[in-house]
Chain A
Amino acid sequence: MSPTTPLRALVVDDEELARRLIREYLQGHADIEIVGECENGLDAVKQIGALVPDLVFLDIQMPRLTGLEVLELTGRRSGVIFTTAYDEHAIKAFELHAVDYLLKPFSKARFDDALARARTLHAPANGTPESGSNLAPALDALVARRTAPLERILIRDREQVHVIAVEHVECIEAQGDYLAIHVDGKCHLKPQRISEIEEQLDPARFLRVHRSFIISLAHLQAIERPGPDRHAARLRSGKRVPISRSGYEKLRTLV
């Protein structure tokens, strides 16, 4: 590691004292430069996009967006050190995917360890592709299962972030590589596979009625029969969604 290219770090935590502690711990490391601090998840999403830091100290429990939601929105999969006081689910997931994390309060020695590990993973000089992307699958899995069942859907629309409560979602439609999420007469696009979001949604509230459609059972008004052996769901907004044969079978057992 050459001292001429310091690692650029972003510190994300909503508590001033917690950020201050990380600043203090970092004072002894000349090869790390703090380029920014954020006190909520939304801000973190913006700063990660704008500053592209090498290293992010990311708190899990934050206002607006949790640390894992920040990862989901930014697509960031490396150079992250999680910090958390207590979050059973997150910790279990970290253990499961061998992701490094700091439990508050943490000692200077433990902090230095995590930093050393992050440095080797970052390895900017030789740029071996596998070392940097080592954590990516683990973090992918972590983000995908961040909460089950999903309570809110996050959508990034250029500089804006939309957070949608799942109870407002009428239906979700697969459109190529995107999902069209229909909410209150509006439609948001999100790059995700329909099978992936199907797994995350509560099966008691959402149902995949068609290869490319998931509907919210709370928004379902009636099942129509536009023709023999053909079914469609009419939603409360008046929108109609096709139902496949197997979708109809599933729907019948549920309703």
Chain B
Amino acid sequence: MHPILADARKLLWYVLAWLLAGVGIAALLRLTEQAEWAGALWFALPICLVWAFVALSSYYVCRSLPYSQRRWPVALGLFGGASLLSALAWLGVGEAWDSVGLLVGREKPFVAMTSPGWVMYFAAGFVLYLLSLLAHDVLVAFESVQAAARREAESRVLARDAELQMLRTQINPHFLFNSLNSISALTGFDPSAAREMTVDLAQFFRRTLALAERERITLGEEVVLCEHFLAIEKRRFGAKLNAELRVSPAAAECLLPPMTLQPLLENAIKHGIRQVDGGGTIAVDALVRDGWLHLAVVNPVAREDVPASGHGVGLKNIRERLAVLYGARARIGWQRSETQFAIEINLPIDKEAVS
């Protein structure tokens, strides 16, 4: 909607300005002795009132031609053409309204303009619309500058959120302290398992730290990280947790932002496996098709109507993070059936720097 129409106060001032212009036109008519005061005002004020709203249309004319794709001949043609059309309409309305004077019982039209008078009137219509166009152009430019600044601020915030999210993933306190508790338990009856788990935990954190510094890693590297993660979680959840990772060799070479797959597995365990009595299997499939990398994670969920608390926040974070990094080119979707949760991510293949 037009910014002036959206604000009653602005609209009032705007209409008042046009009425003032109407008084000015009437005064000109009077000065050039083409009408007496009453007729001139009767003629000019209603037309200006109507034109106040017609001129607002120039906002949309300006918006149809954004600065970024503007060539001067086109802009001149459009502005000139629009002004010309508007001036013709202005002339027609003027003449029509003038003769209405006769219909309402006056002896003569509101104004008795000579031909040069009508030419001047026509020129005034042209100039008024052109002025309106120019004023709107400035307004539109101002708006787009503001919008760009806002967008930039938003994407900065999102990028920082993504970074924070990543830091949190690196040091998920829940995961860390529970793992340490498991190690503490294992030391009592299975010291070698405790040692293995310690090594897995160390490897997981070491790799996370190393990978997080890079903008892109291969899926293969991420999978190694996930294997350490799963080894730890398997110790914690025992036979409840099974995982099948099927990653095609072509997919393993694809580049993607670090910590794309790992949070999906973490979600699958937290909201899926953990909630199901007998546990289950997380299936991960990664393959390359038609220039896209497809990543799918499927896990069982509890059938019950027990609503999980806080579900969906993690997924939203992943979606936002991919949106920041890939824009509209990344696709992520998920669906939940009664017993299963499936999430699929499609990313354009990025292999340029296989180094």
| Chain A residues with a Cβ under 8 A of chain B | 14-18, 20-21, 24, 40, 61, 63-64, 85-86, 103-106, 147, 151-152, 163-165
Contact = CB atoms under 8 A, between A and B. Distances in A.
B182 A18 contact: yes
18 contacts: A15-B181, A15-B237, A16-B237, A16-B238, A17-B182, A17-B185, A17-B238, A20-B185, A20-B188, A61-B174, A86-B174, A86-B177, A86-B178, A105-B180, A105-B181, A105-B183, A151-B309, A164-B307
A52 to B, nearest CB: 25
Contacts of B188: 20-21, 24
Nearest to B180: A105
Contact of A85 (B178, B186, B310): B178
A165 B306 CA distance: 8
Interface residues of B, number: 27
A18 B306 contact: no
Nearest to B182: A17
B178 A104 contact: yes
Given A105-B177, A105-B181, A164-B307, 9 more contacts: A15-B178, A15-B182, A18-B182, A21-B184, A86-B174, A86-B176, A105-B180, A106-B181, A147-B309
Contacts of A14: 274
A206 B231 CA distance: 44
A53 B236 CA distance: 26
**Nearest 9 CB-CB pairings of A with B:** A165-B307, A21-B185, A85-B177, A104-B181, A17-B185, A105-B181, A105-B184, A86-B173, A17-B182
B300 to A, nearest CB: 13
B305 A18 contact: no
Contacts of B216: none
B91 interface: no
A18 B181 contact: yes
B305 to A, nearest CB: 7
A210 to B, nearest CB: 27
Contact of B302 (A21, A63, A86, A105): A63
Nearest to B194: A17
A215 B309 CA distance: 22
Interface string B130-148: 0000000000000000000
A85 B173 contact: yes
A63 B277 CA distance: 9
A103 B302 CA distance: 28
Interface string B154-187: 0000000000000000000110111011111110
Contacts of B185: 17-18, 20-21, 24
Contacts of A15: 178, 181-182, 236-237
A210 B105 CA distance: 65
B319 to A, nearest CB: 21
Nearest to A43: B277
Interface string B258-276: 0000000000000000110
Given A21-B181, A105-B181, A85 B307 contact: no
B189 interface: yes
Contacts of A17: 181-182, 185-186, 235-236, 238
Contacts of B305: 163
A164 B306 CA distance: 7
Nearest to B275: A63
Interface string B294-310: 00000000100111011
